[in-house]
Amino acid sequence: KNEVEQSPQNLTAQEGEFITINCSYSVGISALHWLQQHPGGGIVSLFMLSSGKKKHGRLIATINIQEKHSSLHITASHPRDSAVYICAVSGNTPLVFGKGTRLSVIA
């Protein structure tokens, strides 16, 4: 069983829809990271959180430490949000990554 599980693996949405990507982990962590990777490979760190909720523009990340679960929400999705979203956890070990969620937003 992978230490970090993401769902769904693939997601297609219409522009304007509310999107949720989920991440579950099985190990103790000090922080959870949400990353965005566009075609071509560049990775951008969206959030690093250890409790509660963070918001940046149309993106919201939440984490429930007791349930070992995090969600990434995108409000009013736009085609430029199309990318792979990767969940990663850090703790006693360096970053362990999920397999990613490929999001396509159609105009």
Residues near another protein (CB under 8 A) are 30-31, 33, 35, 41-45, 48, 86, 88, 90, 93-100
| Closest CA relative to residue 84, chosen from 70, 54, 104, 69 | 104
Q: Please tell me the distance from the alpha carbon of residue 4 to that of residue 44, in angstroms, as a whole number.
A: 19
Residue whose CB is less far from another protein, 43 or 106? 43
Length of the chain, in residues:
107
Residue whose CB is less far from another protein, 42 or 57? 42
Residue whose CB is less far from another protein, 72 or 86? 86
Both tokens of 91, joined, read 């703790």
